[in-house]
Structure 1
Amino acid sequence: MDSVFKALADPSRRDLLDALRQKDGQTLSDLQVALPQSRFGVAKHLKVLEDAGLVTRVKRGRFTHHYLNAVPLAEAMARWIEPYTVAPAVLGVLDLKARLEGTAMTPKPDYVLRTFIRCTQDALWDALTQADAAANYHPFTPEAVRDGDALVYKLPDGSNMLICRETSKTPKTRIEAEFAPQWAPGIPVSRFVWMIAPQSDFCELTLEHYDIPEGGEGYADGWERLVSGLKTWLETGTPTRIGGQG
């Protein structure tokens, strides 16, 4: 927690976070525009933000892309501003190598989230793949049904809210899926990837979301609420649905 506040204390580092909030996935060269310092100076600030868990790096080919990770901020707010809301703890810095079969160069994700959950690999896999688990942590609906290779999330009136069709699965390790919103007509389909890496008593869970359409800025908030609820449920056994306002 101290590292988060230390990182936020410097206005240059806050400028970098603002720049990533406006456009996630920027390279070091891109961020030099937001912070008119030397390449070395910007890199030093990014390292502090990475050590605090506020920035996540994803390497694609020759380029390294940087993503704002809001989970440590949510944890700080939960501790002092919203003491009855449980937020996840995020440890360390991401050094992620994602792979897509048959692709020499993979595209960079539009959004990345990473957290650590104290649970077994089996429990986390089941939580992400079993339809009845959604009632324990999904922020916007308590009901999901499985339809073949798809998880279909339902609205209270029984209509579909979201369809997540799995396109590739590596058991207990990786899920690739389509993200097809149904809450409004004409929203383009995007895709996301869950990655699970067991680490002693914890599991490292990473989410990458690709091809987020214009106007999809709220996707990040939805993922953060979902993963916060998932973490709390798996670690405490208490169903936790961190829903939005309205």
Structure 2
Amino acid sequence: MTDDDRVFKALADPTRRFLLDRLFDRDGRTLTELESELEMTRFGVMKHLRVLEEANLLVVRKSGREKLHFLNAVPIRLIHDRWIDKYTERRIAALTDLKAELEEKTMPTKTENKVVYVHRVYIKATPEAIWDAITKPEWTQKYGYQCPVEYDLRPGGEYKAFASDAMKAYGDTPDVLITGEVIECDPPRRLVQTWHPQWEPVEGVTRLVHEIVPGADGVTSLTVTHELADSPNTAAMVNGEVENAGGGWPEILSDLKTLLETGKSLHS
């Protein structure tokens, strides 16, 4: 079964779509919280969550004695790029309805408590190649928002992301888009840093973690965890919820996967 097949299978069930909707409304829920909103046994809910996890639509993280469930939007973005865009002009009802269901979102207000986003993607590439694609400007200019970056890869080192030429053409864009400080650096496995967008300087400094884990058959997992406290506008931006402002982390990671596996960006 292919990755696409697993995602379509997972999304075909209304209970599993309901669980994803609940996690979109508020991420990082426990099994008990999710179970309380469904009229089925705990074991039944666990089976649905397992299908979602196998499709990589969920990332489970331990917090003390509890397991927290996080929505991973990257596979949905890959489905969108692979299938929905391809058929948009033909207006095939089944796919456009699927697009509406997957992408229909309500903009968060400043009172919403969206704190942590977790995204995971599996890439046919070495950990070293993925590390370089994250930390070297000659790579970051080729995917996502195409912003050159500068890293001083040591604890306390400085991080900067610069506006791309396309961004500068719009005007009123700061040359340095994002600033930060490296907290942990363990190449090519783990990078922890602060992340402070300069287009929203009044919002708080956020925390960003990249975790790279090699697997079988040359496939490596990349997990990006973005902790956003008291930063509702930044949270909306990085989760791809702001109209005409790109797809946030889901699109960035989808584009990174495509670039490393095919040599070309999604938008090339």
Name the TM tier (shorter chain). 0.7 to 0.9
2:239 to 202, 212, 220: 220
1:125 to 118, 124, 131: 131
- Gapped regions of structure 1 (runs ≥ 5): 85-108
Match of 2:219 in 1: 202
The separation in 1 between residues aligned to 2:84 and 2:13, in whole angstroms, is 22
Residues 10-69 of structure 1: CA deviation (Å, up to 9, x unaligned): 222111111000001100011123223222221121112112222221112210011111
CA contact (8 A) 1:24 1:111 kept: yes
Aligned residues: 217
- CA shift, 1:168, in A, is 0.8
- Distance change (3 Å), C-alpha of 1:168 and 1:70: same
Mapping of residues 174-193 of structure 1, within 5 Å: 174-193=190-209
- CA shift, 1:147, in A, is 6.0
Residues 156-186 of structure 1: CA deviation (Å, up to 9, x unaligned): 2562111232111112110001011101230
Residues 95-143 of structure 1: CA deviation (Å, up to 9, x unaligned): xxxxxxxxxxxxxx7111111111222211111122332101132x433
Report the identity percentage.
Answer: 38
More displaced, 35-44 or 222-231? 35-44
Which letter maps to 1:185? P
DSSP 3-state at the match of 1:217:
helix
DSSP 3-state at the match of 1:34:
coil
- Gapped regions of structure 2 (runs ≥ 5): 88-114, 241-247
Mapping of residues 60-139 of structure 1, within 5 Å: 60-83=63-86, 110-139=116-145
1:40 to 39, 43, 46: 43
Match of 2:182 in 1: 166
Match of 1:153 in 2: 161
TM-score normalized with structure 2 length: 0.73
Match of 2:148 in 1: 143
Residues 58-107 of structure 1: CA deviation (Å, up to 9, x unaligned): 112210011111222222222321139xxxxxxxxxxxxxxxxxxxxxxx
TM-score normalized with structure 1 length: 0.79
Match of 2:100 in 1: none
- Distance change (3 Å), C-alpha of 1:112 and 1:15: same
DSSP 3-state at the match of 1:238:
coil
1:16 paired to 2:35:
no
More displaced, 36-45 or 168-177? 36-45
The separation in 2 between residues aligned to 1:201 and 1:145, in whole angstroms, is 28
DSSP 3-state at the match of 1:53:
coil
- Distance change (3 Å), C-alpha of 1:231 and 1:163: same
